[in-house]
Amino acid sequence: MLGLWNLGPIGRDRGEEAGSSNLDNDGAELGGLIGFNWQYHRWVFGLEADGGYLWARDSSNINIPRTDFDPFRVSSSFKTHYLFTVAPRIGYAVGRWLPYVTGGLAVGDLDYAQEITFPTGIVSGQGAFREGGSETETNCGWMVGGGLQYALTNHWSVRGQYQYVDLGDISFESNFISNDAPAHHHAEVTEHNASFAVMYKF
């Protein structure tokens, strides 16, 4: 899973640029699928819904240098728990093999947190300072992908599939030193999913 976490405007251009980071989440998914297919000559048209529990999470800590003050730290974390997709697919049967492409709706949960920490008296008249927050959302996005299916028997088949998933973004704001300088925390989430399935055709 690949996510792009960007610290938005916090009153200083350097903070916005240096506070951006990429989190590369490796995780596992366990779930199932259901659908139907209709074949016309060698062409196969279908509609499938799949999903399950997705365990993926990562975190990062970035120190942002400043010219006149001590550096401050931006801590980011992300995790997700499930992913569901509903999409048509089109394939072309060659013997027992079926290469296909697919694309459609994706739904997943996003749990995003970010914190800005000033370890020393970076702000005149203040000591150590910490500000941030978190946000949890269920987002609807899209996915495209493809795969290769092989019929073991008339009823049993196996397949490998790849999906590129875009779940949109998630954001929240927190006070940055004062109400006049809020921090905008923003994350854009994409996923690369590779899966293997064993299927039974009724």
Handedness of CA 144, 150, 152, 153 (dihedral sign): positive
* In contact, 105 and 85? CB cutoff 8 Å: yes
Give the side-chain half-sphere CA count within 13 A for 183: 22
| The model's pTM | 0.79
pLDDT at position 124, please? 47
Handedness of CA 113, 54, 85, 23 (dihedral sign): positive
Measure the CA–CA gap between 192 and 106, rounded to whole angstroms: 13
* Mean pLDDT to the nearest integer, 91-113: 95
Q: Point out the least confidently predicted range of 9-18, 43-52, 151-160.
A: 9-18
* Mean pLDDT to the nearest integer, 163-181: 77
141: enclosing H helix or E strand: strand 129-151
Question: Which residue is it, tokens 């702000």?
Answer: 123
Residue 127 pLDDT class (50, 70, 90 cuts) = low
Q: CA-CA distances (angstroms) from residue 128 to 54, 120, 152, 178? A: 37, 5, 64, 14
Burial class of residue 198 (count of CB atoms within 10 Å of its CB; 0-12, 13-18, 19+): exposed
pLDDT greater at residue 162 or residue 69: 162
What share of residues in the chain are helix, strand, coil (percent, to 5)?
A: 5, 75, 20
Q: Point out the least confidently predicted range of 42-56, 103-117, 124-138, 182-196.
A: 124-138
* Mean pLDDT to the nearest integer, 132-146: 92
The answer to whether domain 2-200 has CATH 2.30.29 is no
